[in-house]
Amino acid sequence: MADMARDYYEVLGISRDAGETDIKKAYRRLAMEYHPDRNNGDKSAEEKFKQVSEAYDVLRDPAKRAQYDRYGAAGLRGPAGAGFGFHPFDLSEALSVFMRDFGGLSGLESLFGGGERSRRGQRRGPDVQVTLRVTLDEVATGATRKVKLRTLERCPKCEGSGGKGGQKPVPCRTCGGSGEVRRATQSFFGQFVSVTSCPTCGGEGTVVQEPCEQCRGDGRVRAERTVEIEIPAGVSGNNYLTLRGHGAAGPRNAGPGDLIVALEVEEDPRFERHGDDLVYDLPITFSQAALGADLSVPSPSGAATVRVPPGVQSGTILTVRGKGLPSLAHGGRGNLHVRIQVWTPQRLNPEQKELFDRMAEIESKPQGDSVGRRFWNRIRDALGA
Ligand SMILES: [Zn+2]
Ligand SMILES: [Zn+2]
């Protein structure tokens, strides 16, 4: 059983002597990250949400925590256990733990900052996710992209009401219009009341009596739409853009979901990217290395010039300020780092051959300058001569 191996302290990322406040803080942060309302029903997020809720529910309670510290969850779960009834949480238990301690649904909405979201987030249209591949040049300048979405739009026939001929929905009789049904459940710890959305109206509180022929009462139809997406300069593959209200329409005129744009930045063979900084490998010749040169290097904002000092060594990094990528976080631009690679010619024409022969002759004589001498001493040492 995989859950036996889980350590509640590790699950919450806290130390074994963490106090009540730390436990609560850690749980709150993780629960908000993995809450199903924020993860589009992603199964692994839901799994995490259940795990952190279970861990929190044990560790927040001094008695349960003491038992857990002594015996671990597995020992307490078995038939010979101390009777705390630890077990892997299901989603509704996890949600009720979260709601119990973090102020219920309205609290949840304000925690998430989703003010326009309707009750339980169920009426609102679904979020639509698209992935955009952008080049490094587009990251450098920012870009505007048009994207075609296949999604759900308000039904034109009933104007979204879902009722035949635009008929308005009427209050649901199962839940009396509240959209919620309450259910009391008996558990080891006593009775607890869970609130779920009404099965008749799906949480909306209203129902359509005679459905529209075109959308069958849903208030939406399939449609294609083109959206223009502004990609700000400086983005990376870790960034998401959220276009509020640009997702699918909600059922029966409920608010639309969001359009979530995941970004993938294509590798640029010329550069290594490190945040806003770029690294470029520049091959130079022996003579350029020895004599120094002003050389042209590519950058996402056009060619730049790097001043190579005389006597540069392979592997030296020269920095061209402000020629990296724009910074999304704090404005300004990163730097372009030019990594020098002294290139050895593989074929010499007769003239070059002659010059290198002449060079070799000079190098074999005792050197006047101290750096050159040090170099030859090192070579001699390496050869054990
Ligand atoms: Zn319709
Ligand atoms: Zn209802």
Model confidence pLDDT, tens digit, residues 13-50: 999 999 988 999 999 889 888 887 777 778 898 899 99
- Tell me, in angstroms, the distance from the centre of ligand 1 to residue 125's CA: 15
Rg (CA), the chain: 33
Give the ligand at the shortest distance from the Cα of 178: 2
Q: How far apart are CA 259 and CA 152, in angstroms?
A: 12
- Tell me, in angstroms, the distance from the centre of ligand 2 to residue 375's CA: 86
- Tell me, in angstroms, the distance from the centre of ligand 1 to residue 218's CA: 7
- Tell me, in angstroms, the distance from the centre of ligand 1 to residue 246's CA: 20
Give the ligand at the shortest distance from the Cα of 221: 1
Q: Side chain identity at 248, as an amino acid letter?
A: A
Report which DSSP code applies to 205: S
What's the CATH class of domain 2-115? Answer: mainly alpha
Q: Two tokens at 254?
A: 């409920």
- Tell me, in angstroms, the distance from the centre of ligand 1 to residue 207's CA: 14
Q: Is residue 207 within 8 Å of residue 199, measured between CB atoms? A: no
Give the ligand at the shortest distance from the Cα of 179: 2
- Tell me, in angstroms, the distance from the centre of ligand 1 to residue 156's CA: 6
User: With 0-12 CB in 10 A as exposed, 13-18 as middle and 19+ as buried, what is 225?
Assistant: middle
CB within 8 Å of 329: residues ≥ 6 apart = 234
- Tell me, in angstroms, the distance from the centre of ligand 2 to residue 315's CA: 70
The C-alpha angle 336, 342, 347, rounded to 5 degrees, equals 135
| pLDDT band of 369, cuts 50, 70, 90 | low
If one compares 238 and 105, the residue with the highest pLDDT of the two is: 238
SS3 of residue 121 by DSSP: helix
SS3 of residue 282 by DSSP: strand
Task: Give the pLDDT mean for 120-131.
Answer: 75
Q: How far apart are CA 165 and CA 167, in angstroms?
A: 6
The C-alpha angle 378, 384, 385, rounded to 5 degrees, equals 85
Domain ranges of the chain: 2-115, 128-265, 271-383
- Tell me, in angstroms, the distance from the centre of ligand 2 to residue 271's CA: 58
- Tell me, in angstroms, the distance from the centre of ligand 2 to residue 170's CA: 10
DSSP bridge partners of 196: 181
Q: Which residue has the tokens 């949600």?
A: 95
- pLDDT at position 85 is 53
**CA distances in angstroms from 92 to 171, 254, 327, listed in the order given:** 26, 25, 42
- Tell me, in angstroms, the distance from the centre of ligand 2 to residue 173's CA: 6
We find that the CATH architecture of domain 128-265 is Ribbon (2.10)
Where is 107: in which H helix or E strand?
helix 104-112
Fold of the CATH domain 271-383: HSP40/DNAj peptide-binding domain (2.60.260)
159-216: pLDDT as tens digits: 999 999 888 888 998 888 888 888 777 766 677 777 888 888 878 888 888 999 999 9
Sign of CA dihedral 159, 164, 167, 172: negative
- Tell me, in angstroms, the distance from the centre of ligand 2 to residue 265's CA: 46
- pLDDT at position 109 is 37
- Tell me, in angstroms, the distance from the centre of ligand 2 to residue 179's CA: 5
| Sheet-wide strand order for 271-274 | 271-274, 277-284, 336-342, 317-320
- Tell me, in angstroms, the distance from the centre of ligand 1 to residue 164's CA: 7
Q: How far apart are CA 179 and CA 174, in angstroms?
A: 9
If one compares 79 and 301, the residue with the highest pLDDT of the two is: 301
- pLDDT at position 35 is 83
DSSP bridge partners of 263: 132
- pLDDT at position 103 is 46
pLDDT at residue 80 tops 90 = no
- Tell me, in angstroms, the distance from the centre of ligand 2 to residue 181's CA: 8
If one compares 241 and 157, the residue with the highest pLDDT of the two is: 157
Where is 294: in which H helix or E strand?
strand 293-297
- pLDDT at position 117 is 37
Strand pairing class (240-243; 220-231):
unpaired
